[in-house]
Structure 1
């Protein structure tokens, strides 16, 4: 599966699904974004069970603002609708694969439990 482009209209529906969604926040003028693009594209072809999505921060400024993206590229990973990774900077191929392995290995029941504990502590 090739990468898909996300907009404000399609973002929540796409990342809210079960499974893993990687989102690359990028811009046309960004050199590191251009260097990361082929790595991300290769991953999308190798790991077809994972949704690889891109957000053009120039075209979709409200999404960048919603997620507090202040540097690009920024890569976010969602699993079962929960953001489990958020980091600025282009990753080399092996680091992207390590991230995917880590997200695949997460115990989502444990993640949900930690979120519930955190939210309970806030009240």
Structure 2
């Protein structure tokens, strides 16, 4: 599955109403560590069919980032059944990001 670009318009449908756990990567285009994590996020999206992966640009969707307390980027939040399940921030190895689903 490919990475879903998340916006104010589709966040509720794609994340909060998803029947699968959703990993949301909060990022910005100017953020170096975010760019480093891009390929990792893409890999997870293509390898794990039991989850959905989305990216949310905090500069374009500041309201959502503020609602979920995103203070630094990259921030990864896993949503399950419309609720925050786990949250972590900073550049990480793929295994650390995958552990958020456990």
TM-score (norm 1): 0.77
Does residue 1:10 correspond to 2:32, yes or no? no
Distance in 2, Cα, partners of 1:99 & 1:86: 7
Q: Computing the radius of gyration over CA atoms, which structure comes out larger, 1 or 2?
A: 1
Distance in 1, Cα, partners of 2:88 & 2:96: 12
Within 5 Å, give how 1:71-82 maps onto structure 2: 71-82=72-83
Larger RCO (CA under 8 A, 6+ residues apart): 2
Q: Which segments of 5 or more consecutive residues in structure 1 lack a partner in the other structure?
A: 103-123
Structure 2 contact 87–100 (Cα < 8 Å) conserved: no
Within 5 Å, give how 1:1-123 maps onto structure 2: 1-16=1-16, 17-100=18-101, 102=102
Q: CA deviation at 1:78?
A: 0.7
Superposed CA deviations along residues 32-54 of structure 1, whole A, max 9, x for unmatched, are 00001100100100002211000
Number of residues of Structure 1 aligned to a counterpart in Structure 2: 101
Q: Which segments of 5 or more consecutive residues in structure 2 lack a partner in the other structure?
A: none
Higher helix share: 1
TM-score (norm 2): 0.92
Q: CA deviation at 1:30?
A: 0.3
Cα-Cα RMSD: 1.1
